């Protein structure tokens, strides 16, 4: 369940890992233990790795991203890195959202946030972005809890 935050914790230098690059700037790292199939979906076996895996799914749906490393050689990137424009992460256009006009009609997209241009999209213009905004509290909570209670770190166990 251990999650490291790059820049706050020492780099764990793990050979098998998954990262989550939060668009707000934090980078979380978790050790991977392979994958398993649950209800027809292939997911990470480790709890913290699965948490970061889902965060990466939301990141890729909500933001313009570039693929990260493929450490498990399955042909898919293990994580994504958000693309920044003028210091801000670029939010993807979400065609499933519609706005209501003053006259009561529906409009899809807006200037600078449509199929052709997503440069002016904000997080509220994308469902996955809004979900990720709330979900990032989970890796933060796991990391803080493990550190607060001194769990997950190297220590002696048993009777000495």
pLDDT in tens, 24-80: 989 999 999 999 999 999 999 999 999 999 999 999 999 999 999 998 888 889 999
Q: Give the chain's mean pLDDT.
A: 89
φ/ψ of residue 54, rounded to 5: -65, -40
Q: Which of 157, 93, 81, 150 is CA-nearest to residue 119?
A: 93
> Are the C-beta atoms of 76 and 70 separated by less than 8 Å?
yes
Can you tell me the distance from the alpha carbon of 63 to that of 23, in angstroms, rounded to the nearest whole number? Answer: 8
Which pTM was predicted? 0.87
| β-pair type (27-31, 35-38) | unpaired
Alpha carbon separation from 55 to 45, 52, 99, 107, 149 (Å, rounded): 15, 5, 27, 30, 24
Q: How confident is the model at residue 157 (pLDDT cuts 50, 70, 90)?
A: low
Residue with more model confidence, 2 or 152: 2
């Amino acid at each position: 369940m251990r999650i490291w935050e790059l820049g706050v914790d020492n780099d764990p230098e793990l050979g098998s890992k998954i990262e989550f690059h939060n668009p707000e700037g934090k980078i979380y790292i978790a050790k991977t233990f392979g994958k398993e199939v649950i209800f027809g979906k292939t997911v990470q076996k480790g709890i913290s790795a699965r948490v970061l895996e889902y965060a990466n799914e939301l990141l890729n749906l909500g933001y313009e991203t570039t693929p990260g490393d493929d450490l498990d050689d399955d042909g898919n990137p293990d994580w994504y890195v958000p693309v920044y424009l003028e210091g801000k992460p670029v939010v993807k256009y979400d065609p499933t959202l519609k706005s209501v006009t003053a006259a009561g009609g529906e409009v899809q997209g807006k200037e600078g946030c449509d199929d052709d241009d997503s440069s002016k999209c904000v997080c509220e213009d994308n469902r996955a972005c809004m979900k990720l905004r709330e979900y990032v509290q989970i890796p933060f909570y796991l990391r803080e809890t493990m550190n607060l209670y001194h769990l997950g770190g190297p220590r002696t166990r048993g009777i000495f």
